[in-house]
Protein backbone atom coordinates (compact mmCIF):
# COMPACT_ATOMS: atom_id res chain seq x y z
CA UNK A 1 0.00 0.00 0.00
CA UNK A 2 1.32 3.44 -0.93
CA UNK A 3 1.72 5.82 2.00
CA UNK A 4 1.99 9.59 1.90
CA UNK A 5 3.67 12.24 3.99
CA UNK A 6 0.76 14.28 5.33
CA UNK A 7 2.18 17.04 7.51
CA UNK A 8 4.98 18.07 9.84
CA UNK A 9 5.55 20.00 13.06
CA UNK A 10 8.48 22.18 14.07
CA UNK A 11 9.56 23.18 17.57
CA UNK A 12 12.03 25.80 18.81
CA UNK A 13 13.37 24.14 21.96
CA UNK A 14 15.84 25.98 24.19
CA UNK A 15 17.49 24.77 27.39
CA UNK A 16 18.91 27.38 29.84
CA UNK A 17 22.44 25.95 30.00
CA UNK A 18 23.94 29.44 30.15
CA UNK A 19 22.88 29.53 33.82
CA UNK A 20 25.36 26.79 34.74
CA UNK A 21 28.20 27.55 32.30
CA UNK A 22 27.65 24.34 30.33
CA UNK A 23 29.04 24.68 26.82
CA UNK A 24 31.09 27.80 27.53
CA UNK A 25 34.27 28.47 25.57
CA UNK A 26 36.36 31.41 24.36
CA UNK A 27 33.99 32.22 21.50
CA UNK A 28 30.61 31.09 22.84
CA UNK A 29 30.23 32.56 26.31
CA UNK A 30 26.49 32.19 26.99
CA UNK A 31 25.19 29.04 25.30
CA UNK A 32 21.58 28.01 25.75
CA UNK A 33 21.72 24.57 24.12
CA UNK A 34 18.86 24.47 21.66
CA UNK A 35 17.19 22.31 19.06
CA UNK A 36 15.39 23.28 15.87
CA UNK A 37 13.22 20.18 15.86
CA UNK A 38 10.93 18.65 13.24
CA UNK A 39 8.60 15.65 13.17
CA UNK A 40 7.32 14.40 9.82
CA UNK A 41 4.05 12.42 9.75
CA UNK A 42 2.51 9.97 7.27
CA UNK A 43 -0.97 8.57 6.79
CA UNK A 44 0.23 5.15 7.95
CA UNK A 45 1.39 6.21 11.40
CA UNK A 46 5.06 6.07 10.37
CA UNK A 47 6.91 9.16 11.61
CA UNK A 48 10.39 10.61 11.47
CA UNK A 49 12.11 12.95 13.95
CA UNK A 50 14.99 15.26 13.13
CA UNK A 51 16.78 18.25 14.58
CA UNK A 52 19.67 20.58 14.17
CA UNK A 53 21.66 22.04 17.04
CA UNK A 54 21.81 25.75 17.88
CA UNK A 55 22.73 27.71 21.00
CA UNK A 56 19.72 29.98 21.58
CA UNK A 57 18.82 33.10 19.61
CA UNK A 58 18.21 32.36 15.94
CA UNK A 59 16.67 28.95 16.48
CA UNK A 60 13.35 30.39 15.32
CA UNK A 61 15.00 31.41 12.04
CA UNK A 62 16.21 27.84 11.48
CA UNK A 63 12.70 26.54 12.25
CA UNK A 64 11.27 28.84 9.60
CA UNK A 65 13.73 27.43 7.05
CA UNK A 66 12.81 23.88 8.14
CA UNK A 67 9.16 24.64 7.40
CA UNK A 68 10.04 25.79 3.90
CA UNK A 69 12.00 22.59 3.21
CA UNK A 70 9.69 20.11 4.95
CA UNK A 71 6.71 21.50 3.08
CA UNK A 72 8.18 20.13 -0.13
CA UNK A 73 7.84 16.57 1.27
CA UNK A 74 4.10 16.75 1.90
CA UNK A 75 2.16 14.50 -0.46
CA UNK A 76 5.21 12.42 -1.38
CA UNK A 77 5.62 8.68 -0.83
CA UNK A 78 8.58 8.24 1.56
CA UNK A 79 9.46 4.91 -0.05
CA UNK A 80 10.30 6.82 -3.23
CA UNK A 81 13.00 8.60 -1.19
CA UNK A 82 14.21 5.46 0.59
CA UNK A 83 14.99 3.80 -2.75
CA UNK A 84 17.88 6.20 -3.32
CA UNK A 85 18.66 8.53 -0.43
CA UNK A 86 21.51 10.20 -2.31
CA UNK A 87 19.12 11.23 -5.06
CA UNK A 88 16.61 12.29 -2.39
CA UNK A 89 19.29 14.49 -0.80
CA UNK A 90 20.08 16.12 -4.15
CA UNK A 91 16.37 16.82 -4.64
CA UNK A 92 16.04 18.32 -1.16
CA UNK A 93 18.84 20.78 -2.00
CA UNK A 94 17.50 21.58 -5.47
CA UNK A 95 14.94 24.31 -4.84
CA UNK A 96 16.71 27.16 -6.62
CA UNK A 97 15.15 29.95 -4.57
CA UNK A 98 15.95 28.32 -1.22
CA UNK A 99 19.40 27.29 -2.45
CA UNK A 100 20.17 30.93 -3.25
CA UNK A 101 20.30 31.81 0.46
CA UNK A 102 23.12 29.30 0.99
CA UNK A 103 24.15 27.75 -1.19
CA UNK A 104 24.70 24.66 0.96
CA UNK A 105 25.78 26.61 4.01
CA UNK A 106 24.34 28.64 6.85
CA UNK A 107 20.74 28.53 8.03
CA UNK A 108 19.38 26.74 4.99
CA UNK A 109 21.97 23.97 5.36
CA UNK A 110 21.23 23.58 9.08
CA UNK A 111 17.56 23.27 8.19
CA UNK A 112 18.32 20.71 5.49
CA UNK A 113 20.16 18.68 8.13
CA UNK A 114 17.07 18.54 10.35
CA UNK A 115 14.80 17.46 7.49
CA UNK A 116 17.24 14.95 6.00
CA UNK A 117 17.93 13.48 9.43
CA UNK A 118 14.17 13.14 10.00
CA UNK A 119 13.79 11.30 6.70
CA UNK A 120 16.60 8.92 7.65
CA UNK A 121 14.98 8.38 11.05
CA UNK A 122 11.74 7.49 9.28
CA UNK A 123 13.62 5.11 6.94
CA UNK A 124 15.24 3.28 9.85
CA UNK A 125 11.96 3.05 11.75
CA UNK A 126 10.22 1.70 8.63
CA UNK A 127 12.79 -1.12 8.49
CA UNK A 128 12.74 -1.77 12.24
CA UNK A 129 16.45 -1.04 12.76
CA UNK A 130 18.61 1.55 14.50
CA UNK A 131 20.04 3.89 11.85
CA UNK A 132 23.59 2.51 12.03
CA UNK A 133 22.29 -1.04 11.46
CA UNK A 134 20.14 0.08 8.51
CA UNK A 135 23.24 1.49 6.80
CA UNK A 136 25.82 -1.20 7.62
CA UNK A 137 23.35 -3.80 6.30
CA UNK A 138 23.26 -2.02 2.94
CA UNK A 139 25.18 -3.47 0.03
CA UNK A 140 28.10 -1.33 -1.19
CA UNK A 141 25.96 -0.27 -4.13
CA UNK A 142 23.09 0.80 -1.87
CA UNK A 143 25.42 2.77 0.39
CA UNK A 144 26.95 4.59 -2.58
CA UNK A 145 23.44 5.44 -3.77
CA UNK A 146 22.70 6.89 -0.32
CA UNK A 147 25.66 9.30 -0.49
CA UNK A 148 25.96 12.90 -1.74
CA UNK A 149 28.71 13.12 -4.39
CA UNK A 150 28.14 16.44 -6.14
CA UNK A 151 31.26 18.68 -6.10
CA UNK A 152 33.61 16.05 -4.63
CA UNK A 153 34.20 13.73 -7.59
CA UNK A 154 37.59 15.34 -8.24
CA UNK A 155 38.82 13.55 -5.12
CA UNK A 156 36.33 10.67 -4.77
CA UNK A 157 34.22 9.18 -7.53
CA UNK A 158 31.26 6.90 -7.05
CA UNK A 159 33.33 4.10 -8.59
CA UNK A 160 36.20 4.64 -6.12
CA UNK A 161 33.78 4.71 -3.21
CA UNK A 162 32.20 1.47 -4.39
CA UNK A 163 35.59 -0.26 -4.53
CA UNK A 164 36.47 1.03 -1.06
CA UNK A 165 33.23 -0.32 0.39
CA UNK A 166 33.60 -3.67 -1.35
CA UNK A 167 37.11 -4.00 0.09
CA UNK A 168 35.68 -3.53 3.59
CA UNK A 169 32.98 -6.20 3.17
CA UNK A 170 35.39 -8.82 4.47
CA UNK A 171 35.35 -8.66 8.26
CA UNK A 172 32.30 -6.40 8.45
CA UNK A 173 30.27 -8.77 10.62
CA UNK A 174 33.24 -9.37 12.92
CA UNK A 175 33.68 -5.61 13.37
CA UNK A 176 29.98 -5.23 14.09
CA UNK A 177 30.15 -7.95 16.73
CA UNK A 178 33.25 -6.39 18.33
CA UNK A 179 31.93 -2.85 18.63
CA UNK A 180 28.61 -4.14 19.91
CA UNK A 181 30.48 -6.06 22.60
CA UNK A 182 33.11 -3.53 23.75
CA UNK A 183 31.52 -0.21 22.74
CA UNK A 184 32.93 2.71 20.77
CA UNK A 185 35.89 4.71 22.23
CA UNK A 186 35.06 8.15 23.62
CA UNK A 187 36.56 11.29 25.10
CA UNK A 188 34.93 13.70 27.51
CA UNK A 189 34.46 17.44 27.06
CA UNK A 190 32.02 18.28 29.83
CA UNK A 191 34.76 18.37 32.47
CA UNK A 192 36.61 21.22 30.77
CA UNK A 193 34.17 24.02 29.96
CA UNK A 194 35.72 27.45 30.25
CA UNK A 195 33.08 28.81 32.61
CA UNK A 196 33.62 26.14 35.27
CA UNK A 197 35.51 26.76 38.51
CA UNK A 198 38.76 24.92 39.26
CA UNK A 199 36.93 22.89 41.88
CA UNK A 200 34.29 21.79 39.41
CA UNK A 201 36.84 20.96 36.71
CA UNK A 202 38.88 18.93 39.19
CA UNK A 203 35.85 17.05 40.50
CA UNK A 204 34.45 16.29 37.05
CA UNK A 205 37.84 15.17 35.75
CA UNK A 206 38.22 12.69 38.61
CA UNK A 207 34.66 11.46 38.04
CA UNK A 208 35.47 10.97 34.35
CA UNK A 209 38.53 8.88 35.23
CA UNK A 210 36.37 6.77 37.54
CA UNK A 211 33.93 6.29 34.64
CA UNK A 212 36.66 4.82 32.44
CA UNK A 213 37.69 7.81 30.29
CA UNK A 214 41.32 8.33 29.31
CA UNK A 215 40.88 11.13 26.72
CA UNK A 216 40.00 14.61 28.06
CA UNK A 217 39.39 17.95 26.36
CA UNK A 218 39.63 21.45 27.79
CA UNK A 219 38.63 24.79 26.31
CA UNK A 220 41.30 27.44 25.74
CA UNK A 221 41.73 30.85 24.13
CA UNK A 222 40.41 33.41 26.61
CA UNK A 223 43.54 33.95 28.73
CA UNK A 224 46.91 32.31 28.07
CA UNK A 225 48.20 32.25 31.66
CA UNK A 226 44.93 30.85 32.94
CA UNK A 227 44.82 28.22 30.18
CA UNK A 228 48.36 27.10 31.02
CA UNK A 229 47.50 26.94 34.72
CA UNK A 230 44.28 24.99 34.10
CA UNK A 231 46.06 22.67 31.69
CA UNK A 232 48.70 21.86 34.28
CA UNK A 233 46.00 21.26 36.87
CA UNK A 234 44.16 18.81 34.60
CA UNK A 235 47.43 17.11 33.65
CA UNK A 236 48.30 16.68 37.32
CA UNK A 237 45.02 14.81 37.82
CA UNK A 238 44.95 12.64 34.70
CA UNK A 239 48.67 11.76 34.95
CA UNK A 240 48.50 10.69 38.61
CA UNK A 241 48.46 6.88 38.98
CA UNK A 242 46.76 7.28 42.37
CA UNK A 243 43.60 8.33 40.55
CA UNK A 244 43.44 4.97 38.75
CA UNK A 245 42.93 2.35 41.48
CA UNK A 246 41.78 -0.22 38.90
CA UNK A 247 44.81 0.34 36.66
CA UNK A 248 45.51 2.44 33.58
CA UNK A 249 46.50 2.14 29.94
CA UNK A 250 50.04 1.54 28.77
CA UNK A 251 51.11 4.87 27.20
CA UNK A 252 53.18 2.96 24.63
CA UNK A 253 50.17 1.04 23.30
CA UNK A 254 49.57 1.47 19.53
CA UNK A 255 46.25 3.30 19.88
CA UNK A 256 48.00 6.05 21.86
CA UNK A 257 50.94 6.52 19.48
CA UNK A 258 51.41 10.17 18.56
CA UNK A 259 48.85 11.39 21.09
CA UNK A 260 51.34 12.67 23.73
CA UNK A 261 49.82 10.33 26.32
CA UNK A 262 51.06 10.80 29.86
CA UNK A 263 52.37 8.10 32.23
CA UNK A 264 48.85 6.77 32.86
CA UNK A 265 48.03 6.66 29.14
CA UNK A 266 45.83 9.75 29.51
CA UNK A 267 45.44 12.07 26.52
CA UNK A 268 44.66 15.80 26.68
CA UNK A 269 43.15 17.82 23.82
CA UNK A 270 42.53 21.56 23.63
CA UNK A 271 39.81 23.51 21.78
CA UNK A 272 39.88 27.23 20.91
CA UNK A 273 36.54 27.46 19.05
CA UNK A 274 37.90 29.69 16.25
CA UNK A 275 39.12 32.65 18.32
CA UNK A 276 42.53 33.22 16.70
CA UNK A 277 44.06 34.49 13.49
CA UNK A 278 46.62 32.06 12.04
CA UNK A 279 49.77 33.69 13.56
CA UNK A 280 48.03 34.03 16.94
CA UNK A 281 47.10 30.36 16.90
CA UNK A 282 50.65 29.27 16.22
CA UNK A 283 52.10 31.47 18.96
CA UNK A 284 49.45 30.62 21.54
CA UNK A 285 49.47 26.84 21.04
CA UNK A 286 53.27 26.70 20.91
CA UNK A 287 53.19 28.25 24.37
CA UNK A 288 50.92 25.46 25.60
CA UNK A 289 53.22 22.70 24.37
CA UNK A 290 54.31 21.83 27.91
CA UNK A 291 50.84 20.46 28.75
CA UNK A 292 51.32 18.06 25.82
CA UNK A 293 48.03 18.30 23.92
CA UNK A 294 47.31 15.72 21.24
CA UNK A 295 45.64 18.36 19.09
CA UNK A 296 44.30 21.89 18.96
CA UNK A 297 40.71 21.97 17.77
CA UNK A 298 39.28 24.83 15.70
CA UNK A 299 42.34 27.11 16.00
CA UNK A 300 41.02 29.60 13.43
CA UNK A 301 38.14 30.33 11.04
CA UNK A 302 36.48 26.99 10.26
CA UNK A 303 36.47 27.36 6.47
CA UNK A 304 40.09 28.53 6.17
CA UNK A 305 41.67 25.34 4.82
CA UNK A 306 45.02 26.95 4.01
CA UNK A 307 45.15 28.63 7.41
CA UNK A 308 44.67 25.28 9.10
CA UNK A 309 47.41 23.81 6.89
CA UNK A 310 49.83 26.55 7.94
CA UNK A 311 49.05 25.99 11.62
CA UNK A 312 49.50 22.24 11.21
CA UNK A 313 52.92 22.68 9.60
CA UNK A 314 54.05 25.07 12.34
CA UNK A 315 52.88 22.84 15.21
CA UNK A 316 54.15 19.54 13.83
CA UNK A 317 57.67 19.92 15.36
CA UNK A 318 55.99 20.22 18.77
CA UNK A 319 54.02 17.00 18.30
CA UNK A 320 50.70 18.86 18.31
CA UNK A 321 48.08 18.01 15.69
CA UNK A 322 45.18 20.01 14.27
CA UNK A 323 41.52 19.02 14.37
CA UNK A 324 38.46 20.73 12.93
CA UNK A 325 35.07 20.14 11.35
CA UNK A 326 32.45 21.11 13.91
CA UNK A 327 31.69 24.22 11.84
CA UNK A 328 32.82 22.96 8.44
CA UNK A 329 29.59 23.76 6.70
CA UNK A 330 29.66 21.24 3.86
CA UNK A 331 31.55 18.38 2.24
CA UNK A 332 33.49 20.77 0.00
CA UNK A 333 35.20 22.37 3.00
CA UNK A 334 36.26 18.92 4.17
CA UNK A 335 37.46 18.10 0.66
CA UNK A 336 39.75 21.12 0.74
CA UNK A 337 40.98 20.35 4.26
CA UNK A 338 41.97 16.87 3.08
CA UNK A 339 43.53 18.14 -0.15
CA UNK A 340 45.59 20.74 1.74
CA UNK A 341 46.74 18.17 4.35
CA UNK A 342 45.39 20.65 6.88
CA UNK A 343 44.08 18.34 9.61
CA UNK A 344 45.13 15.32 11.63
CA UNK A 345 41.61 14.64 12.90
CA UNK A 346 38.28 15.05 11.07
CA UNK A 347 35.43 16.24 13.29
CA UNK A 348 32.15 15.82 11.46
CA UNK A 349 29.01 17.33 12.94
CA UNK A 350 25.70 15.52 12.43
CA UNK A 351 23.77 18.79 12.07
CA UNK A 352 26.27 21.23 10.52
CA UNK A 353 26.56 18.89 7.55
CA UNK A 354 23.16 18.56 5.90
CA UNK A 355 22.17 15.17 7.24
CA UNK A 356 23.31 11.59 6.91
CA UNK A 357 23.79 11.55 3.14
CA UNK A 358 26.36 14.36 3.28
CA UNK A 359 28.03 12.84 6.34
CA UNK A 360 28.58 9.62 4.37
CA UNK A 361 30.47 11.56 1.71
CA UNK A 362 32.86 12.98 4.32
CA UNK A 363 33.36 9.60 6.00
CA UNK A 364 34.34 8.14 2.64
CA UNK A 365 36.76 10.97 1.86
CA UNK A 366 38.34 10.72 5.31
CA UNK A 367 38.86 6.98 4.79
CA UNK A 368 40.49 7.60 1.41
CA UNK A 369 42.88 10.20 2.88
CA UNK A 370 43.57 8.11 6.00
CA UNK A 371 42.34 10.77 8.46
CA UNK A 372 40.63 9.45 11.61
CA UNK A 373 37.08 10.68 12.25
CA UNK A 374 36.32 11.89 15.78
CA UNK A 375 32.86 13.50 15.58
CA UNK A 376 31.79 16.62 17.42
CA UNK A 377 29.05 15.97 19.97
CA UNK A 378 29.04 18.89 22.42
CA UNK A 379 25.38 19.87 22.37
CA UNK A 380 21.83 18.67 22.93
CA UNK A 381 21.03 15.51 20.96
CA UNK A 382 24.40 15.30 19.25
CA UNK A 383 25.71 12.36 21.29
CA UNK A 384 22.50 10.49 20.47
CA UNK A 385 23.14 11.13 16.77
CA UNK A 386 26.85 10.60 16.33
CA UNK A 387 27.25 7.18 17.91
CA UNK A 388 25.36 5.91 14.85
CA UNK A 389 27.77 7.71 12.51
CA UNK A 390 30.91 6.42 14.23
CA UNK A 391 29.65 2.83 14.15
CA UNK A 392 28.85 3.20 10.44
CA UNK A 393 32.38 4.51 9.85
CA UNK A 394 34.01 1.64 11.74
CA UNK A 395 31.90 -1.25 10.46
CA UNK A 396 31.32 -0.27 6.83
CA UNK A 397 33.77 2.44 5.75
CA UNK A 398 37.13 2.89 7.49
CA UNK A 399 37.25 -0.46 9.27
CA UNK A 400 39.16 1.02 12.21
CA UNK A 401 38.38 2.57 15.60
CA UNK A 402 41.75 2.04 17.27
CA UNK A 403 42.75 5.73 17.17
CA UNK A 404 39.26 7.22 16.96
CA UNK A 405 37.46 8.75 19.91
CA UNK A 406 33.91 10.08 19.85
CA UNK A 407 33.12 13.17 21.90
CA UNK A 408 30.88 12.74 24.94
CA UNK A 409 29.24 15.64 26.75
CA UNK A 410 27.13 14.75 29.77
CA UNK A 411 24.25 17.16 29.27
CA UNK A 412 20.48 16.87 28.58
CA UNK A 413 20.34 13.18 27.68
CA UNK A 414 17.36 12.77 30.00
CA UNK A 415 15.13 14.43 27.39
CA UNK A 416 15.45 11.52 24.93
CA UNK A 417 13.74 8.14 25.37
CA UNK A 418 16.54 6.51 23.34
CA UNK A 419 19.35 8.36 25.07
CA UNK A 420 22.94 7.35 24.56
CA UNK A 421 24.63 5.36 27.31
CA UNK A 422 28.23 4.66 28.30
CA UNK A 423 29.79 1.48 29.62
CA UNK A 424 32.32 1.05 32.44
CA UNK A 425 35.22 1.39 29.98
CA UNK A 426 34.23 4.95 29.11
CA UNK A 427 32.89 3.83 25.73
CA UNK A 428 29.56 4.41 24.03
CA UNK A 429 27.18 1.49 24.01
CA UNK A 430 25.92 0.74 20.51
CA UNK A 431 22.19 1.55 20.05
CA UNK A 432 20.18 -1.65 19.86
CA UNK A 433 16.46 -0.84 20.03
CA UNK A 434 14.80 -1.62 16.67
CA UNK A 435 12.27 1.16 17.30
CA UNK A 436 14.69 4.02 17.90
CA UNK A 437 15.68 4.93 14.35
CA UNK A 438 18.22 7.76 14.61
CA UNK A 439 17.67 8.04 18.41
CA UNK A 440 16.58 11.68 18.34
CA UNK A 441 12.94 11.40 19.42
CA UNK A 442 12.39 13.83 22.29
CA UNK A 443 9.89 13.43 25.13
CA UNK A 444 6.72 15.43 24.52
CA UNK A 445 6.95 16.67 28.12
CA UNK A 446 10.41 18.12 27.42
CA UNK A 447 9.11 19.92 24.34
CA UNK A 448 6.18 21.32 26.31
CA UNK A 449 8.49 22.55 29.06
CA UNK A 450 11.31 24.08 27.03
CA UNK A 451 9.71 25.23 23.76
CA UNK A 452 10.46 28.89 23.15
CA UNK A 453 8.86 31.25 24.02
CA UNK A 454 5.78 29.77 25.67
CA UNK A 455 6.92 26.48 27.18
CA UNK A 456 6.26 26.15 30.88
CA UNK A 457 9.87 26.77 31.87
CA UNK A 458 10.18 29.99 29.87
CA UNK A 459 6.80 31.27 31.01
CA UNK A 460 7.88 30.64 34.58
CA UNK A 461 11.25 32.29 34.00
CA UNK A 462 9.43 35.45 32.93
CA UNK A 463 7.30 35.54 36.06
CA UNK A 464 4.30 33.94 34.38
CA UNK A 465 4.22 36.41 31.51
CA UNK A 466 4.44 34.86 28.06
CA UNK A 467 7.57 35.91 26.21
CA UNK A 468 7.55 37.36 22.72
CA UNK A 469 10.00 36.26 20.04
Rg, Å, the chain Cα set: 21
Distance CA 266, CA 280 (A): 27
**What are 84's strand-pairing partners?**
none
| Residue 335: CB atoms within 10 Å | 22
CA 245, 249, 252, 258 torsion-angle sign: negative
Distance CA 179, CA 281 (A): 37
Q: Which long-range contacts (CB under 8 A, 24 or more apart) does 332-337 make?
A: 332/104, 332/151, 332/152, 333/302, 333/303, 333/305, 334/362, 334/365, 334/366, 335/151, 335/152, 335/154, 335/155, 335/365, 336/305, 337/305, 337/308
Distance CA 352, CA 53 (A): 8
Q: What is residue 396's DSSP assignment?
A: I
8 Å CB contact between 35 and 29: no
- Catalytically active residues are 219, 376
Amino acid sequence: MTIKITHFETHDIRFPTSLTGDGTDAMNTDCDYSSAYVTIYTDSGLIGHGMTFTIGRGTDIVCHAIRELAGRLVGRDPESFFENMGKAWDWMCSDSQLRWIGPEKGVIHLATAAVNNALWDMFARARGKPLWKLIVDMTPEELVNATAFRYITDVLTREEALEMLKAKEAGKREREALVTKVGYPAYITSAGWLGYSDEKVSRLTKEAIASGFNHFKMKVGADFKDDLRRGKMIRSIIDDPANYPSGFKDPSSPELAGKSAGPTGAVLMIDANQVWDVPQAIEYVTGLAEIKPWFIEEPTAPDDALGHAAIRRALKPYGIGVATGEHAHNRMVFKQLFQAEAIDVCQIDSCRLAGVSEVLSVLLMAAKFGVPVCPHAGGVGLCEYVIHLSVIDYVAISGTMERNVLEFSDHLHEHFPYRCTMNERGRYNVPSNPKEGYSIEMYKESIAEFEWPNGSYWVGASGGKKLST
